[in-house]
Every structure is written in C-alpha cells, then in structure tokens.
Structure 1
Amino acid sequence: MESGKIQVLEVKKPENKSEPCPNSVSLSGSEFSERMRVVELPCGLTLGSHITMVGKPRAAHAEKDPMIALVKEAGETMMVSQFMMELLGLKTVEAEDPPRILHFNPRLKGDWSLKPVIEQNTCYRMQWGTSLRCEGWGSKADEETVDGQVKCEKWIRDDDDKSEESKATWWLNRLIGRTKKVAFDWPYPFAEEKLFVLTLSAGLEGYHVNVDGRHVTSFPYRTGYTLEDATGLAVTGDIDVHSVFAASLPSNHPSFSPQRHLEMSSRWKAPPLSVGSVELFIGVLSAGNHFSERMAVRKSWMQHRLIKSSTVVARFFVALHARKEVNLELKKEAEFFGDIVIVPYMDNYDLVVLKTVAICEYGVRTVRAKYIMKGDDDTFVRVDSIIDEVNRIPAGRSLYIGNINYHHKPLRYGKWAVTYEEWPEEDYPPYANGPGYILSSDIGRFIVSEFESHKLRVSN
C-alpha cells in the first residue's frame, strides 16, 4: 500500500455514484413477492424519507414451537399471527447476514404475554440489542420522547378497567373542569384479515410509525447505524403485502467508506499522542471491512474524557484484507482518523494472537503505557471503571486480569462493560483467555521479548 503499486485499482473500481438514486420506489404486491419480499433502496434513506406499506395480517395459525411464546407442555400448539418489517443494511457487510437496522414486529397473537404487542429492536451478527416493547400501556409523560413523539402510544387492552364507576368518574372530572384534554381509546392497530396502511418515516432522532393515520410507535436511532446504511426493506411473517411505496429518498449516493464522514465532523479523530504519560493503552482487534464497528466505537466510548486528554489511548489493530480495494479504503480511513495500526499480514482468525502481540509491542514501545488492554470492536469499554481498578494496584506490582467477558445487550454490562470473572483455580491459565484482558507493562515487555526470541508459546 505504501508503494502505491495498487493505486490503479482506484480507477478500475466502479464508483457507487454511477448507481441511480431514484427519488421514489413503488412496487405492487406481486412485484414485491417476485423480489423475495425485499425492496432495495439503492441510496438508503435520509431525513424526511418515508415508506408506506399496505398489507393485511393473516389469520392466526397453530404452531408447536413458536419463538415468541412459552409452551407449557411438549406438543402443545399456540395460535400465532405476527409479521416483521425490517430495515436492512444490505451493503454494510459482506458474506454474512446484513444488520437489522430496525426490526418492527407486531405480534397480534402468540406473544408470551398473551397480549397483542409491538416489539422493536436492532440486530447485528445474531446479537440483539435491548428491545422496545409497546404493550398498550402508553409511554409515561416523563419518559424520553423521540422528536417530541412518545415511544409507545396507548391502546385498549383486555385487562383495562371499563367499569361503570370508572366511566362515571371520568365524566365527573370532565364536568367540573379537572380534565382539559379529551383522551381517546384506540384499539390495537392491527387485526387479522383487515387491511391497514402503515407509514414509516425518518425523523431527526429516530423512526416513526403511523398506522391508518395515527402515530403508534417511535424508535430512537442507535449508535453504529445511519440512515444511508438502510438500503433494503424486508417484510416477512403472517402478512399479505398489497403494495409498497418509498418516497423522499436521497438524490445522491453516499460513499460507503470513511470519505462520507470527512465532511461531517473531525471530532472523532484521535487526539495527539503524549508518550510517557499514558496510564492505559487499549488495543482493539478489528477487520478491514468492519468500518461500521469502528465508527460505533469512535462515536461512543472513544469520546471519553480520559481518551480526549490522552491519559488513555485507544487504537484499532487491523490486518490486510484479501480484497485490495478494501485495503485502499482502510488506508484512507487510517490517514484521516489516525487511530488505526495496520499489521503487515493477511487477516485470518488464526492470526489473532499475532495481533495481540502487536498490541503489546505498540503499548510498551510506541505509547509506553503503564497498562495494556486487549479488546474487540464489538465491545463497549467503561474506561473510568477500568482506570479506577488499575489505580488500586500498588506501584511496581505486576498485573494480569484475564477472562474479561462482555454482554452484547447494551446497558447490561458488569463492572467494566465487560464483566469481570474470577478464575476458579489458584492460578490463571498459561494463556490469554476471553475477548478482553489487561496486562501491566512489564508483562507486555516480557511477551514481546519472548516472541522476538521465538520462545513464546503461541496457540489459538
């Protein structure tokens, strides 16, 4: 890459901008079925984009093993009717399932609560985030809103109190002026074998869903996903789709590379390195085509004040990709953000140990940090908690904290975002175990020295 011998690929590489960016996309139900019930949105979405779908939920059917219900006895069947509408990142990853940027799942029948609900979530690499379940209660007035809209609207539930006394109390309050606003009770927005018109729109803070002209749910955007990444709409489950219409789509094709962020902001660039005063160095293992993961890290825990002040330094460690065009984009990204260390060999999972050795070498020789941590690009690190922990270690004492595991669901981490687990035996195993671990600099120097003298036991 440094020699520039592969720069010619930049000319040969087809430009994404050559792909048309229609302002709208319209499909009939039959056309939608012919496309495997997926609508491609070549240029993704933008602020103000909206998708309207006309559909009819099918009648409930019996299932022996429903994924959304708790079956009490083996062989017992449950009546289920549900469908999923999902925004997919069709161009975000390769050779794996695309991320579900928005998972909108109305469950008319069959949910474990035995009530109709709407569940919303995101999913990447089979790892679901924290779900937002709308169960008919309605969001409270003091809860966070999305563009001024509540996350969940209220609808009539079977267990609502509809007694004559409650109705009389409501009318009495109205007559004496205690209630200035008339409250309407609406049914659950979907019914079996009944047509509906659903509109999904993109706001400043999140997605909004209206059904038959009434706001139903709002789902805030989550870190790591952008509107332009939503290049597909899929509808599956117990539903017949009559038509799909997407409008106010972006007219310019976004560049799915670091270049799209150059005009947005430079606040994610790595701060200047202050060698010798670094308390903790965090090496993050990543892959060449994991741009979305790295951006999620840059926008979240890498914005911590200790990293901004260079007390803690974080760098991504990435090996070369089999596709040369990916390496070109990686080189541009490294030059712009200044937080990537490219290790000079082709990427392979079997070489993850070599990346870890590279993290140790960078930590002790380039940064000269007191402590070194290895992490992954899908890990959220609670920097302040880790610093508090290592500061309790007496000066000059060696430290190895291994077996640091993490949870994929946000806001459910342990002590460090990364849950600390004590090794059950008297001594730690003779290898670095788990997706994260912390070493003191003397152990890091020992690892590098042993590796360079071919004495280090390396295994995967």
Structure 2
Amino acid sequence: MRRPRRAGAGCGRRLRPLLLLLPFAALLSVATFSLHSPGGIGLGLVVPAAVTVATSTDTDTASLHHHRLGDAVSRIDIRALNATPPLHAAAVRAKLNELKKMWFLNRVAGQRNRGSMDWPYPFVEDELFVLTLSTGLEGYHVQVDGRHVTSFPYRVGYSIEDAAILSVNGDVDIQSIVAGSLPMAHPRNAQRKLELLTELKAPPLPEGPIELFIGILSAGSHFTERMAVRRSWMSSVRNSSSAMARFFVALNGRKKVNEDLKKEANFFGDIVIVPFADSYDLVVLKTVAICEYATRVVSTKYIMKCDDDTFVRLDSVMADVRKIPYGKSFYLGNINYYHRPLREGKWAVSFEEWPREAYPPYANGPGYIVSSDIANFVVSEMEKGRLNLFKMEDVSMGMWVGQFVDTVKAVDYIHSLRFCQFGCVDDYLTAHYQSPGQMACLWDKLAQGRPQCCNAR
C-alpha cells in the first residue's frame, strides 16, 4: 500500500484501485494482529490491511509504546486480551480471492470492469485509519475509524498482566501503536504485584558449598523466557539450600536491549552478563563462563548446563546425582556416541572446522551435568590457552571431557533418555523446547505430583 497523503479522510469509502499498485503476492496476504503471553497467544485478529511492527512489553507492566515506521497510523486500544479468532476471517479470504480474479482480469485479460463487491473493512488506500480494539459485555470489538467491523468472544482465564508481546505483521506502514485505557490496579493490588515480583528475586550467594549449580544459557531479548523460568522450576531452586541457578547472557547488538538487560539483572540478581557480543559461534564461551562461575564464585559439587527453554525437574535431578558415589568424576545426560557432523545444510560443519569423521561422545546441550573437577579442568585449560573451542557448545564439552580422561582420570559417562533432546517424555528430568505456557503447565502438574508433559504450546 502506498503511503497516506493526509489523515482522517475516507472513512467508509470504497477501496480505490488496489490491484494495480500491489505485487501479486501481496494480494494473498492479510494482516495479523496478535498478543502473546507466557500462557500462549492472547489475541488473533485478521484484517485485510497490514502492518510491519512488533513491540514487546514486560509481563508485569502495561506501557505505552510508539513506533514510527511509516506514514499510516494504527491505534490499538487494549482493554483486555485473549480471544478466539474473529468471525470475519473466512469472509476476508473470500474477498481477497475475488481481488485476485479482478487483478488477473485487469492486468492479463485486459478487462476493465472492476465489478461490484461489498468490502467489510473501511480501509481506504492512501488514507490514514485508526483501528481500536475494545471490550464489551459479550466480547472484544474492533472498530476502524469509528465503524464496527468485527467482534469475537472472550477466552476465560487470561489477564492483561500476562501479556508479553504485541505484534502486528503485514504490508502497510504504521506510524504508532498505542496501548491505552488499561485497567488500573488498586494500590493494595499494585503493592501485592510488586511483592510477587520481589519473590522472584534470587537469594544472596550462599556462604558455604552447595550441591548443584545450574547455568542457563539465554539471549538478551529473551525476557519472556526468563520470566517463565523464574515463575516455574526456578522457584524450587530459590527455595533450596542445595542448589543455585543463574542465567548467562551475552551482549546484544542493540543498546536498548542491553540497557533493559542491565536493569533486569540489577532487579532480579540472577543474570551473569558475559562481555562479548552474542552469536552462535560464541555460545561455547558461555559454557566456559558457567564453569568459571561455578568453580570460582561459588563452591559446588556438580555443574548443570541448560537452555532457557528447558524445564528442569530439580528434585529428580538432585536424586539422580546423589546416587553417584562421592568423588566420582562423571558426565551425565542424553549422550550421543559416534555422531557424525553434518556437512551440508543450515548446521553444516566444514572439514576445516571439524576434520574428523565423528564427534567424541557428548551429551545433548539442552541439559547435562558434570562433576566439579571437570569444570575446574575446563577453566584451568582456558586460562593456560590450551582449551580447544568448537562452535557447538555441547560437542565442545564432550571434547573437554575426553581431554580430561586422557590427561587426568577416568570419567563415568552416564546416559539417560530422561534428559529430553526434543520435547518431553513423562517422568522427564529435563524437557526441551518448552514454551512459556508449557513451562507454567509443567510446573502446575508437578505441584500436583504429576511429572507429565504438556503438549499445548
């Protein structure tokens, strides 16, 4: 769509010749407005105009965000969230199919008869419009320039405090998104909300030794994932005198992301910011940082590494490591043997990067545990400049354990399928690729004594 020439005009007028101004592919698309939360998608709204912007807010505050990305304006007035798909989606697609036929007749067959069609959305090409989403007695209502265009019912069990991301996707420029008229909490409720956040803060560093240190790899922009971890399985870590967990996050290319990360780290006290730019090839340095923190900052028997989309069943993990004889060097996880590197595709590894035909035995990266003497060895070799680094951090750990075996002492390789590489199995130790909603679901089931998977994302 071309940029608007002036604001406020054209409400309800018929769309001017759209067909000659857009590429064919654009006629097949519709815009999608969606609100996402740790519990899943909050709202899905389909309209035949589009926007290219995504804004995110934290899960505990309702904020006002302005994004100047074009010359059109869209205002989304959010008073409540989470709804089923709108009633007009099928009708919009039917109209778009009709537009495709008209485009073909105009451009290919030379026909100039545009025909007659009812357009349910009062968007006008080259004109500004205001889209408002509001709540009523029976559900959510959408207006464009004051004209009602669609409604859809509520979904039970959702509140605005759970919203994490507002995203609008498509092909039309947008000047701003405004979240207004949000519900105001009574001061007593606001204080309670602050108290709940305070409960998520990490306790002070332990004065004595602990049994298990958990290092969680995360990215600067993964605030929602970290909040899901804090509100679920990390609660058991905070309440344990035998375990401790920290997020390990590298620097982002955007200054604002780093500023927000610093504020988050100062508030929750559970983030270790490592001083290099985040990239896939440098993830291995986060694993080295985990080993260093676990051996130099705290005193621990065992070190676990996982990702921020990994759900850790702490009580069962602790029970498993306690079965291992004290003083035994071990490497525990879902271990791959004779795994060959991929030489083609997205995750290809060149012969220059890895000349051998197979990797050493290594545990899958979503969750594994090593004894503290192995972590000490990793840090020592790094300081001496003798540690071999490979871009795949889990393979690197397998390589370091192999070097430890060759130069120090034997290691017990303990394989367990309960450290899930893909998804989840009942009676898991770790579950991988878990969305924030699944994290909450798994935590609720654990509270009921049911270590079962949650399939819905």
Coarse TM-score class (shorter-chain normalised)? 0.3 to 0.5
Specify which structure has the higher proportion of helix.
2
TM-score, length basis structure 2: 0.46
TM-score, length basis structure 1: 0.46
Specify which structure has the higher proportion of strand.
1
